[in-house]
Chain A
Amino acid sequence: KAGVTQTPRYLIKTRGQQVTLSCSPISGHRSVSWYQQTPGQGLQFLFEYFSETQRNKGNFPGRFSGRQFSNSRSEMNVSTLELGDSALYLCASSPLSGAGHNEQFFGPGTRLTVL
């Protein structure tokens, strides 16, 4: 089975621009979560999508948004980029079940640099 794929792998933007990152989950996985990783704050949860609906959201400003498509692929968008948005953005997919708390399988991440 192919793993979680994320595109692009690397991205350089300037302040004020916006960016869209893409994530394709493992085939059959319907839950997709996004995390931001920075040296200062570590790994922080952004949001989770299932059945094209946001199910859970972390403590990030409204500039960070996401969506999920009917094929479970997900995108996240960051508008009006700030220097502090430079980070590794990780996507994780999971085979959602009623019990929840399943292991999440992570992609290689998108390294975003904001200049």
Chain B
Amino acid sequence: AQKVTQAQTEISVVEKEDVTLDCVYETRDTTYYLFWYKQPPSGELVFLIRRNSFDEQNEISGRYSWNFQKSTSSFNFTITASQVVDSAVYFCALSEAPPRGGSQGNLIFGKGTKLSVKP
């Protein structure tokens, strides 16, 4: 069965610290997609990144970087020089293969990691 585990329930850091959010997934599919979403207090999920199972290149976007390792089924997210505005709940998600054509396939979310960045 597909599953996403975010073992860190809450993390608290001081501004400018680096922080890594862990994500471990389980799937029997050979083709799958992984996502990270941010949920600020307003509640809206904000898309951060999508990665397919054939692309293990790490990605960097400004202060954000992602480390995808198929060997350990992990897709970790690092924020460098954290800022107060980074405070939010972060979700890792796995996209299950669509059951048939014309479907996106549903997202299977981890429980989320609440990040608090203090000034």
**Inter-chain contact A103/B105, CB cutoff 8 Å:** no
Asked if B106 is an interface residue, CB under 8 A from chain A, the answer is yes
Q: Are A108 and B98 in contact (CB under 8 A)?
A: no
1/0 per residue, CB under 8 A from A, across B75-119: the answer is: 000000000000000010101001111111111111110000000
Q: Per DSSP, are chain A's interface residues mostly helix, strand or loop, or mixed?
A: strand
Chain A residues within 8 Å of B, Cβ to Cβ: 31, 33, 35, 42-45, 48, 50-51, 53, 55-56, 58, 88, 90, 92, 94, 96, 98, 100-109, 111
User: Interface digits, B14-56 against A, CB 8 Å rule (1 contact, 0 not)?
Assistant: 0000000000000000001101010000111111001010000
| Contact (Cβ within 8 A) A101 B47 | no
Number of A-B contacts (CB under 8 A): 82
Contact B109 A42 (CB under 8 A): yes
Query: B47 near A104 (CB under 8 angstroms)?
Result: yes
B109 and A100 contact, CB distance less than 8 A: no
A109: chain B residues at CB < 8 Å are 43-44
Q: Please, how many angstroms separate the alpha-carbon atoms of A100 and B32 in the complex?
A: 10
Do A96 and B109 touch across chains, with their CB atoms under 8 A apart?
Answer: no
Residues of the A chain whose Cβ atoms lie less than 8 Å from the Cβ of B105: 56, 100-101
B42 / chain A contacts, CB cutoff of 8 Å: 108
Query: Which A residues are CB-close (under 8 A) to B46?
Result: 106
Q: Which of A55, A90, A96, A101 contacts B95 (CB 8 A)?
A: A101
Pair A45/B44 contact, Cβ less than 8 Å: no
Contacts A101-B95, A103-B50 given; does A50 touch B44 at CB 8 Å = no
Residues of B contacting A90 in the complex (Cβ-Cβ under 8 angstroms) = 43, 45
Most buried by B among A48, A88, A100: A100
> Quick check: B47 and A105 within 8 Å, CB to CB?
yes
Nearest 3 interchain pairs by C-beta: A45-B106, A106-B45, A55-B103
Distance of B50 from chain A, by nearest CB (Å): 5
